Amino acid sequence: MSKPFLSIDRLTQQFPDGQGGTLTVFENASFGIEQGEFVCILGHSGCGKSTIMNILAGLAEPTSGAVTMDGAEISGPSLDRGVVFQNYSLLPWLSTLKNVTFGVKAREPGWTKSEVEAHARKYLAMVGLEGDVVHRKPSQLSGGMRQRVSIARAFANHPKLLLLDEPFGALDALTRGTIQDELLKIWGGTEQTVFMITHDIDEAILLADRILLMTNGPFARVSESVEITIPRPRNRTEIVEHPNYYAIRNHLVHFLGLRSKELAGQQGDGAEQRPTPVRIDKTAAAEADPETAPPLRAVND
C-alpha cells in the first residue's frame, strides 16, 4: 500500500519531567492524512496536540519516529507548510501588509512588487482587513485582527499543508464564523491539506473530513479517526438538521468526557498505535440497508 500524502510513523515524544525522570507524551503513534483532506484533532489540554503540530511544522524533532510529506521526510520548516499558531507570531516591525508580502515574495520570486502586493491584499481582504488598516503595525491591531493577519499570511502562501493550531481561538463568534466560511472556501478551491487543532467540537464537525481523537496523557494515543459523514457544502445553520450531526457530536462528547480519561496513562507494548476508524451514519439510506452501509466500528457508546 502506498504511503498517504502525510505519513506519521511511530512518533514518540518524551520530555524531561522536571524531577529527574521522563515524561512520555505519546509513543509509537502512527496515522496518515491524504492530499486535500481536512483533518481536525481533538483532545484535552496537555495530551500533545501542539507537540504533534510542532513536529509537522518542522519546528521540533520527535524523540523517535518519522514524518514524511509527499514522500520526503520533514526536517525543518518549509514554505510548503504554512502554520497559524494561537499566538499569531507576526513580525512586529513590519506593517500588516508587509507581514503577508514577506512570504509571498519568497514563494514567488518572479512576481513584480505590485503582483505580490495585490495578492497579499486579496487575502487580507478575505479576512476582512482592507484599507488603511493594512499599513498598521501588529501592535496597533486588536488581538483578533492580528490573528486574522496570520491566517491571511498562511493562506496567501498556498502551502501544500496548512497547519492550524487553534487559529480562531482569539476571535469573537461573528468573525470566527466568517473566517471559518472563508477557510472552507479557500480550501475547497485548492488541493490543500489541512491539519487543525481545535477545542471546539462544533467547529471540528463543520470543517473536517475526519476528526482524530486523542486520549489524555501521559502515553496519550490518537485513538480514533471519526469520519464526518455529512456532505459538503456544509452550512453552520443547516448542518445541525442532518441526521448524523448529533450522533457524531454525542460520540465526540462521550469520548472527550469519559473515554479519553479511561484510556489514559497506559504504556504501550511497543507496537505501532493507529487510530481506529469510526463511521457513524444514521441517514435513512444507511439505516434501511445496513448491508451496503459501512459498519459503525469501535464505538462503545
Ligand X SMILES: Nc1ncnc2c1ncn2[C@@H]1O[C@H](COP(=O)(O)OP(=O)(O)OP(=O)(O)O)[C@@H](O)[C@H]1O
Write out the residues near ligand X by the rule CB under 6 A. 15, 25, 43, 45-51, 217
- Residue pair 286/227 in contact (Cβ under 8 Å)? The answer is no
* Shortest distance, position 34 Cβ to ligand X, whole Å: 24
* Shortest distance, position 221 Cβ to ligand X, whole Å: 13
The nearer residue to ligand X, 60 or 106, going by C-beta atoms, is 60
* Shortest distance, position 51 Cβ to ligand X, whole Å: 3
Alpha-carbon distance 225 to 210, whole Å?
A: 6
- Residue pair 82/159 in contact (Cβ under 8 Å)? The answer is yes
- Residue pair 214/223 in contact (Cβ under 8 Å)? The answer is yes
In the DSSP assignment, the letter for residue 266 is P
The nearer residue to ligand X, 24 or 101, going by C-beta atoms, is 24
The nearer residue to ligand X, 41 or 161, going by C-beta atoms, is 41
- In the block, residue with C-alpha cell 497559524: 84
- Length of the chain, in residues: 301
The nearer residue to ligand X, 141 or 211, going by C-beta atoms, is 211
The nearer residue to ligand X, 48 or 103, going by C-beta atoms, is 48
Measuring CA to CA, how many Å separate 173 from each of 153, 165, 169, 177, 200? 21, 17, 10, 6, 12
Q: Identify which of 160, 196, 24 has the alpha carbon closest to the alpha carbon of residue 82.
A: 160
* Shortest distance, position 260 Cβ to ligand X, whole Å: 11
* Shortest distance, position 52 Cβ to ligand X, whole Å: 7
